[in-house]
Structure 1
């Protein structure tokens, strides 16, 4: 991997980070800045208006942004993941219609498939249902937690249960009748991420909105990108915390060097496993390997931020010196609960192990 942010963008993200955490910043400004730097185009084929390359470059770019602000990285993940859905959709007309505005940051893309990923692992039923009508379907349900629902305009992906048939995946524009966005959720941090709930009341959906007609077949295809891009946030935050810990090094902190070097080596190992797995397509057949990387990265983030606290000492608990640390502490607390949460991933691994044992 290896993406270096333009210094001007890095400076802007560093200055915006406190506001993105407390909710005073504009999340749509983040989309415009990242798009202006060409970051959404990484890993998108040139034929589709992108910069070429592979999804691993997008993972690294999310890590580079999350170094400065995991809230900005969270928005980046949502936008780039929705773009990936379009790239892997057989609905070429939908891709042609939506992709230019998404790449340019003029409209937001919200993944909306957290419930679907849990459904795929047998952890939850789909929360959106459809009833057929002449022109398509009417859908009902709720998506309780979705990020990047920019008030200026968004498209949100949703998995829809269809009685008597396979569930399908739809891309829903913000202005569909019956689609209602809640006020932003009252998060503890990372508040300027346009995170809200979606309610659907008899919302009309037609074939032109369908990303894929068979969610059960398609979701495993996009899950490596969904989770792999998500891992970029944890990587960036862990790197930053370790760099901050190293910056506080001195004779009194020398005792922390072995732990810091050990964490850095472990992080590099997980990054390498993620990069190789994505490049070689290993996670399509072995989702458990990707689940384990995601779990391991969450643990490394927690250890890295704790090490930053130890290295900083009492300064971490003072204002203004400790405000950056306090923000990273809140960001680290979010990593285990991003869907799929660590509990859900561990439950999926346990269920898969149980199935293997019964088969044996």
Structure 2
């Protein structure tokens, strides 16, 4: 991303996000205008870019947003995940219908792949079933949590026809038979526009089917899907480091005796960034390499947010303090599918 574009991004963050961060955290405010502004200013555009170029640029958007508010950065990630589905579908009609509006932020979208990712890892049963019918499929079942949704938003999902066949589709939230119930009872990240989605014989026309081979399609898109998550943790980690540096001289410099110091955390961030550079220098993105970096980032984020709490002391223990917000964001990131335990099982099981 050029210096000029980075400056534009920072301006949007300053004007459209920073004034609302506390409201996002304490009142479950959804920063929809911020997301739409990013699209309007071309930050989701893949035009005249290689796949690696637009992924790297969009990772910067996620990281810079996460430094200020990881809840909203998570919403950005949800939209980028949905963009990844549409960018990679072989259904040209669907791509032509949705991609321009998604990249311009005219349509926002979420990702319903938490359950399918766990299903393919052998951790859960698939929650949605699909019955072939004339012109498409009827879908039934419940997805407990899908984020970055709204009345005019879309989201991706996977449904099983039988044990061996699954389809992946994308659907608008206002479709007949689809009911959304907002969820705002989480420890944090309540401003992520998260809903339980109940399908009752919802008709999905063939035009909304991303792939008839969901497993193969997910294997194709999951490297980008996962890569976009890594800057969520890096952004929170870097914000935690900055918060530690601000308070380093308080109480006569007593913080110097704590085990985790900014320099230690910075070294680990640099190590992760070098690993990402190596990954992107190859011919294609390797899923297991990315998964290993996501796992390392998850543990580093937990370490950084806890260190920030200790360095900030009683000031961090206030419920709506930035340090306590980042602590909750860190635990959310650790449990974002694929979770730490999912990654550990996959890489070390």
**TM-score, structure 2 as length reference:** 0.90
Cα gap change, 1:52/1:121 in structure 2, threshold over 3 Å: closer, same or farther? closer
Residue aligning to 1:245 = 244
Counterparts of 1:139-218 in structure 2 under 5 Å? 139-151=139-151, 153-163=152-162, 166-218=165-217
Aligned partners of 1:120 and 1:45: how far apart in 2?
Answer: 32
Are 1:260 and 1:307, in contact at CA under 8 Å, matched by a contact in 2? no
Which of 263, 266, 290 in structure 2 is aligned with 1:264? 266
Match in the other structure for 2:34: 30
What is the CA-CA distance between 1:130 and the residue it aligns to?
1.0
RMSD: 2.4
| Residue range with higher mean Cα deviation, 162-171 or 89-98 | 162-171
What secondary structure sits across from 2:185 in the alignment?
Answer: coil
Question: Kindly tell me: are residues 275 and 20 of structure 1, through their superposed partners in 2, closer, same or farther at Cα, counting changes over 3 Å?
Answer: farther
2:324 counterpart residue number: 326
Using the TM superposition, name which of 288-297 and 50-59 deviates more: 50-59
What's the CA shift for 1:75?
A: 0.7
The 1:292/1:97 distance shift into structure 2, 3 A limit, reads same
What SS does the aligned partner of 1:202 have? strand
SS at match of 2:228: helix
**Aligned to 1:200, what secondary structure does the other structure show?**
strand
Is 1:23–1:190's contact at 8 Å kept on the other side of the alignment?
A: no
Please report how far the alpha carbon of residue 297 of structure 1 lies from its aligned counterpart in structure 2 after TM superposition. Answer: 0.8
State the match for 2:20 in structure 1: 16
Give, in whole Å, the separation in 1 of the partners of 2:283 and 2:143. Answer: 30
| Residue equivalent to 2:312 | 312
Provide the rounded CA distance (Å) in 1 between the counterparts of 2:115 and 2:281: 26
Contact 1:234–1:297 under 8 Å retained in 2 = yes
CA distance in 1, matches of 2:137, 2:106: 28
Normalised to the residue count of structure 1, the TM-score between the two structures is: 0.87
| Unpaired runs of at least 5, structure 2 | none
| Per-residue deviation, residues 7-61 of structure 1 (Å, max 9, x unmatched) | 43232322211111123534322322322343222xx2338xx999331221121
Query: Aligned in 2, Cα 1:160/1:332: closer, same or farther, shift over 3 Å?
Result: same
SS in 2 for 1:10: helix
Q: 1:270 & 1:324 partners in 2: Cα distance?
A: 24
Extract unaligned runs of 5+ from structure 1.
Answer: 352-360
Name the SS of the counterpart of 1:39 in structure 2: coil
CA 1:350/1:317 → structure 2, altered by over 3 Å: closer, same or farther? closer
8 A contact 2:12–2:34 mirrored in 1 = no
- Contact 2:20–2:31 (8 Å) recurs in 1: no
Counterpart in 2 of 1:356?
A: none
Matches within 5 A, 1:31-180: 31-41=35-45, 44-46=46-48, 53-151=53-151, 153-163=152-162, 166-180=165-179
Match of 1:295, SS state, is helix
The alignment of Structure 1 onto Structure 2 pairs a total of residues equal to 342
Alignment partner, residue 357 of structure 1? none
> CA separation in 2, counterparts of 1:150 and 1:55?
25
